Structure 1
């Protein structure tokens, strides 16, 4: 169960246990959500819905807010232009430096993350979400089977809330709606 514990990643920084991910649907609540997270949590900036200039402006504002609380700041897509980010998020490492947090939904994608040198992996969807309402979920048993098969730190994602994190007995988790 090595993936369950806080371990230094290749950047030398410990990987936070709690993560909030941005989305169009939680944008209006992000400032308050970042303030409510425990200091030293993680923030993944996505904001795919914005044009590049507006996305950059929103990133700068939210990154300052996150940094004021001591949060790690990760960005997806276009990370090469976000120099103040601690790293990148997504399916490939091609566009970034620093910490790399992969996304995975199955064993093959976890293997790909390991081969790519990921520092951690968001494994989803554990439970049904607005993003994956009708799709298959891993469920607690499927999540544990996959998470325990990797040495990477695993971040549970998909329908996660504090109660669901307790239900699956997994301390490292993230949410969009569940923390907004």
Structure 2
């Protein structure tokens, strides 16, 4: 019997994540799933099948009902042994007991205010950023984009796997590749960085017949 496409994609994603985990510091997940109101309108379906030890970054962008959604995702992540961060909202993260916060680069300085309050704080980074964005903030990792072509409307031109791997060594924090990352290209950067994706992990939101049964 041939392997189903979603199962094959999941296997590739897990393999890439295992490789990434070998060089990331202890306490950091090998891969993050970032939510998006438009592209992943039902993030709980994907989070429910992510491998244990991965991470979810909930980005609510000010949506109504964000606390209720955050609490549901937190409960789900706790049950599955998944790290749970909230994007750009430390107050909500602290209120519900999330594991951490993900900061846009322009807000990275705010991480100082929350030093020691969370297990993980991450920030975004982009090719050509002002070096001041990478000052010694109390940050555990950078999610750097765009590495591959992405459907994100804010994505810049991708730098590609080769340039990205060279860049990682120059950055002062552990790095996750973001932007077009998926099970098919994850192995090309897994030896240099962790993995972060929005659309790329949708394969975990499709249940197989065995899982449904």
Measured against the shorter chain, the TM-score band is 0.7 to 0.9
Q: CA RMSD in A?
A: 2.3
Q: Using the alignment, how far apart are the partners of 1:36 and 1:74 within structure 2?
A: 17
CA contact (8 A) 1:110 1:150 kept: no
Residue 123 of structure 1 aligns to a residue in which SS? strand
The corresponding residue for 1:36 is 49
The corresponding residue for 2:208 is none
Q: Using the alignment, how far apart are the partners of 1:119 and 1:110 within structure 2?
A: 17
CA contact (8 A) 1:102 1:113 kept: no
Residue 57 to residue 134, structure 1, CA distance change in 2 (3 Å): closer
Residue 15 to residue 48, structure 1, CA distance change in 2 (3 Å): same
CA contact (8 A) 1:127 1:138 kept: yes
Deviations 1:11-52 (A, max 9, x none): xxx100011001112022x2221122110111101021613x
Residue 19 of structure 1 aligns to a residue in which SS? strand
TM-score, normalising length: structure 2: 0.72
Confirm or deny that 1:121 pairs with 2:142: yes
The corresponding residue for 2:41 is 27
Query: How many residues are matched?
Result: 170
Mean CA deviation greater in 79-88 or 103-112: 103-112
Residue 109 to residue 74, structure 1, CA distance change in 2 (3 Å): farther
Consecutive unaligned residues of structure 2, counting only runs of 5 or more, are 1-20, 203-213
The corresponding residue for 1:172 is 194
Consecutive unaligned residues of structure 1, counting only runs of 5 or more, are 9-13
Confirm or deny that 1:94 pairs with 2:94: no
Q: Using the alignment, how far apart are the partners of 1:41 and 1:110 within structure 2?
A: 29
Residue 81 to residue 49, structure 1, CA distance change in 2 (3 Å): closer
Deviations 1:76-102 (A, max 9, x none): 122213221111111214164322101
CA contact (8 A) 1:75 1:82 kept: yes
TM-score, normalising length: structure 1: 0.84
Confirm or deny that 1:158 pairs with 2:179: yes
